[in-house]
Every structure is written in C-alpha cells, then in structure tokens.
Structure 1
Amino acid sequence: METKSATDLKLELATRHACLLLPADTPEKRRLDRRVTKGTVCMPYPGAYALAEPYNKLNPRAKARMTLKAIHALHPNWTFCSFSAAVAHGLQVPRALLAPVHIAISPTESRRKNPGHIACHTDHGGSRVITDGMPCTCLLQTLLDCLCATGFRYGLAIVDSALHYHLTTHEKLARHFADHGKGRRGIRQARQTLAYADGRSENGGESIVRAAIIELGFQTPELQIEIEDPMNPGAPKRSDMGWRLPNGRYILVELDGLSKYLSTNARTHEEPSVYQAVRTMRAERLRESHLNLTGATILRLSFAQALDADYLFRLLSTAGVPLNKETSS
C-alpha cells in the first residue's frame, strides 16, 4: 500500500474543507509546482493550490469563494468589495464577473497588487462587515458598487438574489442608493436596475432572461405564476415567468438547460445526484403537460436562445407577448 505524503494529505484536507492549499515553505511550493506541471494539481491563484480533478468539478462561484479565502489568508487586512464581496455575501454573481478579485484601498495606497488578478477600488468610507469569515464592504454598499459597475442583466441577477435570500429589502436599497449614490458614475444604471429588482426570481439565469425580455421592449413578465391544475384541483402548478393576456390566456416562459437540473446550490455548494436530477426533469415534464391542458402557450427555451436577441424577439412576438405601451407607441 502506497503511503501518502504530507503534501498529499494537505491537498485532500483542503479539498474536503473547500479551501486552496497555501504551501508551508519553499520546498513544499516546489513540490506543488511540479505537480502543476504534471496536471494533477492546479494553481487558481498565485501561491494557492488545489487537486485539479475535484477543483475542476466545482461551480464557478464555489471556485471564486475558495480564491477569496486563500487571498484573505495571505492578506488578512484586505477588504473585499464589489463583485468579490457579493460572492462572499452569497449572491448570484454571473461567472463573467468573478475575476479579477476586487479589493477596497485607501486613496493613498498603491494599486499594484498582483496585477491581472487584483482590481483595486478607492475606499471612500462606509461600513465593513465580516461575512463568510472575510472582511467585506457591507451588503448595501456592495450592491450599490455592483449595480454601478455592470449592466442591467448582470446587475439584476445580483440584486434579485439579495432580495430572494431575504438579505435586505427594496426599500433599504433605494434609501441607501439615494444617500450614497449621488454623483457616482453608473448610478443612473444602478437605479434603473433596482427599479426592476424582484426577489421572486429563483436564480441568476431567470433574472438575466427577464432583463433580456425587458430590454427588447416587451412588458415585464410576472414571476412564479401559479395556474390551477385541471388534473389536480387545489394544487396549482407554477411557471418561471409569463404574462396573462386580457382574454385570460397565459403565455409562459420556461428556461431549460442542464443547469436547471444539475446546478449547485449557490449558498451551500452542494451538488445533487444524477438520480435526483432525472427525477426533477421528469417532474418538470409532468408539470408542463398539465399546464398545456389549461390552454396556456408554453415557450421553452435554452439560456443561449434567450440571449439571442433576434430569436427571442421573434419567439415572443409570434407567441403574442405584448410590448410595453411606451415601446409600441
């Protein structure tokens, strides 16, 4: 039986605790670097290592959280802000915004902190909190920073998740934006995004698709619509989003894709089994068959199709989704 080295045991322990391994000394770093060359170990952040196979199976936000933990261990006095703080707060940060890592610095502090991996932002004050064991900007400030720094689609995914997890309220956010957003670059976009925020959105994908629909000029869809199930009276079926037309007919949008069935939990990072995913898919198809009996028009589309503006506009127009009065006038 092969005896595992101390480095092997450390890597396995780090994997179990969802952490990156920081080498104890130069010889251990050299051993890890050799394994990186062989491909059995990866280095997600300079000086921080993980077993490649289990690390590569993690979802992007879980990987980002591990990187934040490693950076905090290396630089305990750094304060995370913007999208990095949003990850620490457990929000649905789209993968395109997960890198680089964002930290808050004083106006006189050097911005040269591992260029390419770290983005520095001038700290103009505001409260700090410890969340997930790391110093971060407070939730309200983090959301203001995020919504000022990104567009409508990604910003809506982030702020929707804060409301969905009941971490704050729309009223508190609006008040904070009014008190601290004056004169900030991007504040107009942030306020427009906040106006559409809705905690009933169950995941970032739904939020991004809803934003795409709104951007095309269609009426804002209602979320989590419940329709009476004719096969099971008293047990209504629910749809991701849709519209109730003046004649009482529903047009429902169902976002499809493997992520809906195999996604990891954003706050616990736990993955369901394939068996659970198949059961979920079967229940989804049964639910949809019952919705069809109500006469509703069901539009099932992938995330990629939802982001194809020409396709999405043709699909919704053909189905009869109404445009906003301002858009159609």
Structure 2
Amino acid sequence: MSRRHPEWVFAGLTAAAAMNLDYTWSLLNDDRIYVASGAEGRGYTRSEVTTIFVASGETCMTRYVVDGAEVTVRTTTPARTLVDCALRYPFRLVLGMFDSAFCRKIADEESVLGECDRVRADCGPVFRLLHYTDARSENGGESLCRATLIDEGFAVPELQREFVDPANAWNVRRVDFVWHTADGRTIVLEYDGTRKYVDPVMTNRRDIQRVVAEEKSRDDMLLRAGVATVVHVTYDDVVNRGALWGKLTDAGVPQTGPIPFYERG
C-alpha cells in the first residue's frame, strides 16, 4: 500500500502494525486500512480505507526491505498512534501496545499527553492506559493477561520478580506476576502460552513430558523460596475471563473493588 500510495500517512492500527507494536490477534478482525487525514480536510474514498483526522503534520518514517528493495512507510508518530488506538479499542487489547512502545523507548508519558492535548476527545481511556503501562512486560501475552486481571478487579501485580533458591543460591528464577497478601502470603502467577509446550524453538526440542517436569521443578523451587501458591494460566484462560477469574479467586489473589464504568473495556 505504501508503494502504491507514497503520499499516504498510515495511522491507528495500521501504524501500530508498521511499528511492530504488541497487540492481540483479535484486533486483526479489523481489516481496514487507517490513513491520516490532514487539517485541510483531505480524505480517501476507497471503501476499505478509514481516515483519522490528524492536525499535526509530524510523521514517522519506517524503512523496510521487501524482496530486496527498500520501502519507506510513513506513519503517525508512535505517541499519536497510541492515542488513536486507545480511543478506538478496549483497554485490555491496547495495553500491550503501550507496554511495548515504552519498553522500546519510542514513546513516553510526556509525548502521549502532548498528543492528548491536540485531539478533541475524552482521553480518559488514554490516561487509564498510561496509569497501568509497565515497560517491564516481556510480551503482548503478558500484557493481555495483566490487562484482563485489572479489568476483572484484581490488584495490580508486581512484575518480573526474582526468587533465589534457599538450597542453591545459583538457582534464581524470575516470575511473571507476584502479589503479597495482607496475611503474609506470596502468590505467583505464570502466564504460559501454548507455544511453551509445542513450539520447538521455545521447548528447545524437548518433549512435553520433560517441559512439564521442568515446570514442576521450577514450582517446587518457588515454594522453597517462600511462595505460598503458584498459579499457571494459558492464553485460553485469559480469553475466557471466567477461567482466569476462577483461578485467581481460588488462589486468594487480592481484589481492589469495582472499576469505574468508563474504564471497563
């Protein structure tokens, strides 16, 4: 599309895809192409193209090599892209974009707030995303999991905490999410994508039985290090909110109470 229309400035989800930001597969159901429409009111009539009004003339250039030839793709800035996606899609589907953009340092809170000043819209969803953005999130799956448990009213966990095996100081394990309860318990949540068990790259070509055995060994080490409960959830558990809610409730994960209506995705 950029080769055919070099004057186009891609925006919204299209720009997020060009920047390789993390987001869930479900957003790909939105198969429209988003293009910025400038202050002069220029629009595009193609049925599959949706325009987003962008008053600022700032753009971002991303270069790709396709079939041996360099292609320059023009997009809205990362900060503007985040704002546009935050205003169009639910919180839980966009948090990964914010996490990954902040992790890669292509956007920050100041730049995002600056874009909020330029748009004529209620930026409450953007402010909520900024509040929960955490650059320590390692991938889009973890971001989706964290966003879902926040949406369901659970306390925000600590991310990427390391535990040391009391029986072997060289044995250090880093976990995805941690909560500390009022009664002194430590609860760990591990997000396990299905690929962990079936993708040869992630399993290092080990069979499933060995992967499961190593997972149990890891859990045993965490229990020795003082963790009271280790919860494992999969992508399917996260998509099926009831399954995630049930596991966290059974484990006694702290809850924070109701979330304001406008923040629920």
Question: Which runs of no fewer than 5 residues in structure 1 stay unpaired?
Answer: 1-70, 264-271
Contact 1:83 1:93 survives alignment (8 Å): no
Identity of aligned residues (%): 30
1:292-307 map, 5 Å: 292-296=223-227, 297-307=229-239
Tell me whether 1:201 sits opposite 2:131 in the alignment. no
| Residue of structure 2 equivalent to 1:276 | 204
Output the TM-score relative to the length of structure 1.
0.66
Structure 1 position 239, deviation (Å): 0.6
Rg: which structure is higher? 1
1:326 deviates by: 6.4
Pick aligned residue for 2:84 from 102, 121, 145: 145
Aligned to 1:169: 108
Superposed displacement of residue 168, structure 1: 2.8
Q: Is the CA contact (8 Å cut-off) linking 2:148 and 2:238 kept in structure 1?
A: yes
Larger helix share, 1 or 2? 1
- Name the residue aligned to 2:168: 232
| Inter-partner Cα distance in structure 2 for 1:277 and 1:97 | 31
Q: Quote how far apart the aligned CAs of 1:237 are.
A: 1.2
Q: Would you say the 8 A contact 2:196–2:202 is kept in 1?
A: no
What residue is the counterpart of 1:100 in the other structure? Answer: 32
| 1:193 Cα offset (Å) | 1.5
Give the length in aligned residue pairs. Answer: 244
1:130–1:136 CA contact under 8 A, matched in 2: yes
Could you tell me whether the CA contact under 8 Å between 2:203 and 2:211 is conserved in 1? Answer: no
Q: Does 1:79 align with 2:9?
A: yes
Q: Which has the higher strand share?
A: 2
Letter in 2 for 1:176: G
- For residue 275 of structure 1, report the CA deviation from its aligned partner: 5.9
> Partner amino acid for 1:164?
C
Q: Measure how far apart 1:223 and its partner are.
A: 0.9
- Establish whether residue 131 from structure 1 lines up as the match of residue 62 from structure 2: yes
Secondary structure, aligned partner of 2:156: coil
Aligned mates of 1:134, 1:278 — CA distance in 2: 40
Alpha carbons 1:81, 1:102 under 8 Å: kept: yes
Which blocks of at least 5 consecutive residues in structure 2 are unaligned? 64-71, 260-265
CA contact (8 A) 2:194 2:234 kept: no
Aligned-residue RMSD, C-alpha: 2.6
Indicate if the aligned counterparts of 2:92 and 2:144 stay in contact, CA closer than 8 A: yes
Deviation at 1:314, TM superposition (A): 2.3
Aligned residues of 2:162 and 2:173 also touching (Cα < 8 A): yes
- 2:20 pairs, out of 53, 68, 90, with 90
CA distance in 1, matches of 2:42, 2:258: 48
